[in-house]
Amino acid sequence: MTTELTWLGHAAFRFDTPRGKRVYIDPFLTGNPSCPAAELEPERLDAILVTHGHSDHVGDTVRLARAFACPVIAQVELRGWIAAQMNTAADMGESLNKGGTVEVAGIGVTLTDANHSSSAPDGTYLGEPCGMVLELLEPAPGETIEL
């Protein structure tokens, strides 16, 4: 089985693991002129990863997380804001700081430094932007993909 990374336009990606898990990274689908029409309504989704709070990265996170009841991994302030948008309590198991690692859908997600800003459309501060290092935990421990 292979690992597949599909670019969905701008900074949005769909990542399919060798074990068949589907992860969206910065799921800016609606309004993204480069997103293929067939990708606007995902058929399945196991996790969402968000790097920072700008609308062209958060994108469809709230809509997709509600529809698929999947975990959303993001930096602490951003994850709290996403929870507020969903009218739910923030899941601290899905909230990280830089250097922190969490396992989701068979992937280790570690937040790293990124040089950018991070705010909601209304200017609300949403924590520091983050890069992510993804490590496939199954079936090939140690295989790392950097985005």
87: domain range?
A: 4-146
User: In total, how many domains does the chain have?
Assistant: 1
Q: Give the tens place of pLDDT for each residue, 108-144.
A: 999 999 999 999 989 999 999 999 999 988 655 455 5
Distances 144 to 6, 83, 97, 140 between C-alpha atoms, Å: 17, 29, 20, 9
Q: Give the tens place of pLDDT for each residue, 2-37.
A: 688 999 999 999 999 988 999 999 999 999 999 999
Does the pLDDT at position 54 exceed 90? yes
Q: How far is the C-alpha of 136 from the C-alpha of 134, rounded, in Å?
A: 7
Q: What is the pTM of this model?
A: 0.91
Instruction: Check: CB of residue 76 under 8 Å from CB of residue 127.
Output: yes
pLDDT of 31: 97
Q: Give the tens place of pLDDT for each residue, 32-49.
A: 999 999 999 999 999 999
76-85 vs 61-68: helix crossing angle, rounded to 10? 70
Does the pLDDT at position 1 exceed 60? no
The CATH number given to whatever domain includes residue 119 is 3.60.15.10
Interval 58-83 mean pLDDT: 97
Q: How far is the C-alpha of 74 from the C-alpha of 37, rounded, in Å?
A: 26
Distances 120 to 104, 106, 126 between C-alpha atoms, Å: 25, 30, 7
Instruction: Check: CB of residue 73 under 8 Å from CB of residue 48.
Output: yes
